[in-house]
Structure 1
Amino acid sequence: MAEIFRAYDIRGIFGKDLTQEIMRKIGIGTGYFFSGPLILGRDVRTSSPVLRDAFVDGYIATGNDVIDLGVLPIGAGAWYAWKLGMPYAYITASHLGPEWNGVKLFHPGGLGVEEDELKLIKKLSDRSPAKSAGRVSYRDIKDLYLQFLLEKFRPQTHLRIGIDCGNGAASLLAPKLFEKAGFEVTSLNCQPDGRFPGRGPDPTKVELKELKHFRLGIAYDGDGDRMVIYLNGRKLKPEEVAALLLEIIMKRKAGPVVANLECGFLIEDLVEKYRQKLYRCRVGHTWMLRAVRKHKAVFGVEASGHYIVPEIFPFDDGIAISYFLACYLPDLQPRGYPSERIDFPCPDEEKFRVVERLKKKISGGKMIEEDGIRIEWEDAWILLRASNTSPLIRLTIEARSEERLEELKKRFVPRVQEEIKMLRTK
């Protein structure tokens, strides 16, 4: 069971790594960890109903109650849990294929359960049931979530919008939200289907040509926590989306900004333009959320496509963020700098040691060793780090010119390859 407990969540292949009995034990561990009532939601995967039953059976066996919200996007349930000040569990494997499933866990207030806490939940999963079981109740809060967003923000201009929900959980709410707000909406793959037959649950892996015909195109992942944006026919990088959001936010309420170490010059330039402070954080949703709260930031961004706008609520939600963007879409076409992210397969048990060895051998400009190693020059930067969720080492490079990008690739790619190769010769 240990291999399904990752850095930020629990996930595995249903029927192989993750069975109903294992999910029941996870429910027991989670019940003893939170020791109180829990909000529960799930995505549209075909395995989610039986895993929901197993998780609930385990959770209530600890004597604690469950409020089941049924099938809905992850952000809608997170909003309701935040509103009530309760912990939250959501059964999903996010952007992974239909054979995968798992569960994401959140403290009251929206902060994700961290790696050490997940290890504790695993340990608690072997405890015996309580003397008396908790109870299960059911609530449908989807209309309340829509009402909250529609009352908070209203469109400032008319837009034709293409929405591709990838047959995921966003199908249940996203088209309805944008239509109720008065946008002209064309819906694609918006029939919930846990097999994800339209284009799969990960919109970052495909080029969605249909969305290029709209002023604004939005594609959501399997549970709706992340989105990909197409603007005037071009697929934007996450930092380019962040630039649009920053332009909106800074004109509403200027303040500090948090960006993880994988974010580059585009964010730095905009924050400097508005004479605000930029704070860096480690890669990972929980680190970003902590930093946003610590620095009372008006915006947080991860290069993987997670965004926090505390004006909405203090955690990320692909549907709410994309609606906010559509309501105030600025007349801009942001362009990021030349960049590349290169993944090197490396066993989980070796990847961190490889990065540590490379730290001792690499030198250059300003060095930051908070999360792997980031080296900064005036015209470029690199970040070398071990992935927290996959057996790989990731090298991210950004430069202010293509020539400089190629120069740094030729310099650092062989060094990483050689260090990994040394593992096989031992």
Structure 2
Amino acid sequence: MKVFGSSGTRGVANEELTPGFVLDVAKAAGTLWGADRVAVARDTRATGRMLANAATAGLQAVGSDVDRLGVVPTPGTQVYCEEEGVPAMMITASHNPPEYNGVKLVGPDGIELSVDELERVENVFLGDAYETVAWDETGDDRAVEDARRRYTDQLIDAVDTDRIRDAELTVALDPGHGAGALTSPDFYRELGCEVVTVNSQPDGRFPGRDPEPVEENLADLGRLVEAADADVGIAHDGDADRAIFFDETGTYVEGDAALAALAAAELGEGDTAVSAVNVSQRLVDVCEDAGATLDLTPVGSTRIMTRIRQLHAEGETVPVAGEGNGGIIFPNYRLTRDGAYTGARFLELLAEKSASEVVEPYADYWNVRVNVPYDSESERERILGAAESYARDADADLTTVDGYRLDYGDAWVLARPSGTEPVVRVYAEATSADHARDLAEDFAAALD
């Protein structure tokens, strides 16, 4: 795909991602959908309203009426789609910096479009094959005022409210000025938690921190957990489809550790978990202990969603999926990443143990990443050829669904080309820092 990547399409707003580009994507999606109604929503980014207007115009140009949801988390938009049976365009760049924006496409079942569906939209876009309508057949638009409330209500119905309320938890919350600022504080309070917040004012310039919920951006949340004597800290990205945690001591919890803990509570004999090829050994171990199968995909939520749908069609049971970046999927709830729901499922685990105790079995792993840059397509191909040769000669189990992953039983190393930068990334994980570093550096050295 040239237009859509692993999770929609993104770029610097008004430079790479212009209103004209979004208008044409809307015309292409609207042409393919042929729907009477389509929803348009956005996160809090400063350029969100401008691009939502462009999306609305493009959809109207192909004859669709538009339900304008305003600022809503991506999973809230997906709830609206499923309840109303309408597709949607979500204007968001998720975790990217403030200057970025993007588009995610959601089907009328509330699920992001599959790879095949995105390719069909892309073909219409690249071929200028829009089915615009006459002036008197263009679509109308209307504001929908209750999309956020509807989302929160279904969240409350989906979790064990009594279990969370009885635990009498204090939650420190950092929605990062994003769309979750308008939903998550109320949601956790309605679950009976005492909630204290930081960066909870919706602001598309993200003055308190960058939208990506990684450790270096979340120091304020760690301090808030300590100051408030909170039981847990929860952070979201810009569109609130991810959740990252701090334990009760104010210590950052690795996303892979949280995924492993949540997966351990879900998986049973014969189940399947789905994750990307850079999956942590933590989840590998959890699946082995549970007697479950781990199915690996190329990196990116779109690839994971597509694989889950394929496995469901084959009759497989997939109770949990996702990546260690906080994007966790519970397909029995909904086939979507939902930061608020993931946070609530973690709160359910705190009814019996502290956050540090919940993740303690998955703490003793070390990760290293090395970037190998290239300047031309020919150099890229040379590096990947060297990676293949190294991988084929290694005494390890080889996986090639996205790059070259070598599994050594208690450690692994992966080389794959970045989808956003001119580098080949080498990842490694082991139970000691030295071992992880050696694995990454040895593989990277073979690529020079």
Fold shared per TM-score above 0.5: yes
Report the CA distance shift for 1:147/1:128 in structure 2 as closer, same or farther (over 3 A): closer
Which position in structure 2 is the counterpart of 1:60? 60
Q: Distance in 1 between matches of 2:120 and 2:387?
A: 29
- Any idea what SS the aligned residue of 2:371 has? strand
Letter of the aligned partner of 1:314 in structure 2? L
Q: Distance in 2 between matches of 1:386 and 1:348?
A: 13
Which position in structure 2 is the counterpart of 1:51? 51
Which position in structure 2 is the counterpart of 1:390? 421
Q: Residues 19-38 of structure 1: CA distance to partner in whole angstroms, max 9, x if unpaired? A: 22332222212211222132
Which position in structure 2 is the counterpart of 1:230? 246
Identity across the alignment (%): 27
On the 8 A contact 1:91/1:101 being kept in 2, the answer is yes
Alignment partner of 1:210 out of 211, 223, 244: 223
Q: Distance in 2 between matches of 1:265 and 1:101?
A: 33
Q: Residues 21-79 of structure 1: CA distance to partner in whole angstroms, max 9, x if unpaired? A: 33222221221122213222101111111111111111110012222211111111112
Q: Does 1:146 find its partner at 2:152?
A: yes
Which position in structure 1 is the counterpart of 2:368? 340
Report the CA distance shift for 1:336/1:111 in structure 2 as closer, same or farther (over 3 A): farther
Q: Distance in 2 between matches of 1:347 and 1:179?
A: 51
Pairwise CA distance, 1:80 = 1.6
Which position in structure 1 is the counterpart of 2:262? 245
- Any idea what SS the aligned residue of 1:101 has? strand
Pairwise CA distance, 1:374 = 0.8
Q: Does 1:262 find its partner at 2:278?
A: yes
On the 8 A contact 1:237/1:336 being kept in 2, the answer is no
Which position in structure 2 is the counterpart of 1:23? 22
Q: Residues 277-317 of structure 1: CA distance to partner in whole angstroms, max 9, x if unpaired? A: 22222222122123333132110022333211123212111
Q: Residues 124-160 of structure 1: CA distance to partner in whole angstroms, max 9, x if unpaired? A: 5563631221222222221111111112221151211
Letter of the aligned partner of 1:338 in structure 2? W
Report the CA distance shift for 1:299/1:406 in structure 2 as closer, same or farther (over 3 A): same
Letter of the aligned partner of 2:446 in structure 1? R
Report the CA distance shift for 1:236/1:121 in structure 2 as closer, same or farther (over 3 A): farther
Letter of the aligned partner of 2:155 in structure 1? L
Pairwise CA distance, 1:274 = 2.1
Q: Distance in 2 between matches of 1:351 and 1:44?
A: 40
Q: Residues 384-407 of structure 1: CA distance to partner in whole angstroms, max 9, x if unpaired? A: 111223332211101233332232
Alignment partner of 2:182 out of 172, 184, 188: 172
Which position in structure 2 is the counterpart of 1:379? 410
Report the CA distance shift for 1:345/1:297 in structure 2 as closer, same or farther (over 3 A): same
Alignment partner of 2:326 out of 305, 310, 316: 305
Q: Does 1:133 find its partner at 2:138?
A: yes
Stretch deviating more after TM superposition (145-154 or 83-92): 83-92
On the 8 A contact 1:5/1:118 being kept in 2, the answer is no
Q: Distance in 2 between matches of 1:93 and 1:409?
A: 30
Report the CA distance shift for 1:346/1:199 in structure 2 as closer, same or farther (over 3 A): same
Stretch deviating more after TM superposition (145-154 or 18-27): 18-27
Alignment partner of 1:357 out of 385, 398, 408: 385
Q: Please give the residue correspondences for 1:295-334 in structure 2 after superposition, counting only pairs within 5 Å.
A: 295-329=316-350, 331=353, 332-334=358-360
Report the CA distance shift for 1:32/1:336 in structure 2 as closer, same or farther (over 3 A): farther
Report the CA distance shift for 1:33/1:374 in structure 2 as closer, same or farther (over 3 A): same
Report the CA distance shift for 1:42/1:350 in structure 2 as closer, same or farther (over 3 A): farther
Pairwise CA distance, 1:85 = 3.4
Which stretches in structure 2 are left out of the alignment for 5+ residues? Answer: none
Report the CA distance shift for 1:356/1:191 in structure 2 as closer, same or farther (over 3 A): same
On the 8 A contact 1:4/1:11 being kept in 2, the answer is no
- Any idea what SS the aligned residue of 1:193 has? coil
Pairwise CA distance, 1:161 = 0.8
Letter of the aligned partner of 2:223 in structure 1? E
Q: Distance in 2 between matches of 1:412 and 1:150?
A: 47
Stretch deviating more after TM superposition (353-362 or 55-64): 353-362
Which position in structure 1 is the counterpart of 2:99? 99
Q: Distance in 2 between matches of 1:113 and 1:46?
A: 28
Which position in structure 2 is the counterpart of 1:158? 168
C-alpha RMSD over aligned residues: 2.4
Report the CA distance shift for 1:8/1:145 in structure 2 as closer, same or farther (over 3 A): closer
On the 8 A contact 2:41/2:68 being kept in 1, the answer is yes
TM-score (norm 1): 0.90
- Any idea what SS the aligned residue of 1:314 has? strand
Which position in structure 2 is the counterpart of 1:83? 83
Report the CA distance shift for 1:278/1:20 in structure 2 as closer, same or farther (over 3 A): closer
Report the CA distance shift for 1:7/1:244 in structure 2 as closer, same or farther (over 3 A): closer
Pairwise CA distance, 1:382 = 0.8
Aligned length: 415
- Any idea what SS the aligned residue of 2:296 has? strand
Report the CA distance shift for 1:343/1:226 in structure 2 as closer, same or farther (over 3 A): farther
Report the CA distance shift for 1:52/1:172 in structure 2 as closer, same or farther (over 3 A): same
Q: Distance in 2 between matches of 1:116 and 1:352?
A: 25
Q: Distance in 2 between matches of 1:83 and 1:349?
A: 46
Report the CA distance shift for 1:177/1:163 in structure 2 as closer, same or farther (over 3 A): same
Report the CA distance shift for 1:124/1:180 in structure 2 as closer, same or farther (over 3 A): farther
Q: Residues 322-352 of structure 1: CA distance to partner in whole angstroms, max 9, x if unpaired? A: 1222133352233141221223334584686
Q: Residues 134-193 of structure 1: CA distance to partner in whole angstroms, max 9, x if unpaired? A: 222222221111111112221151211100111111100000000111101101111101
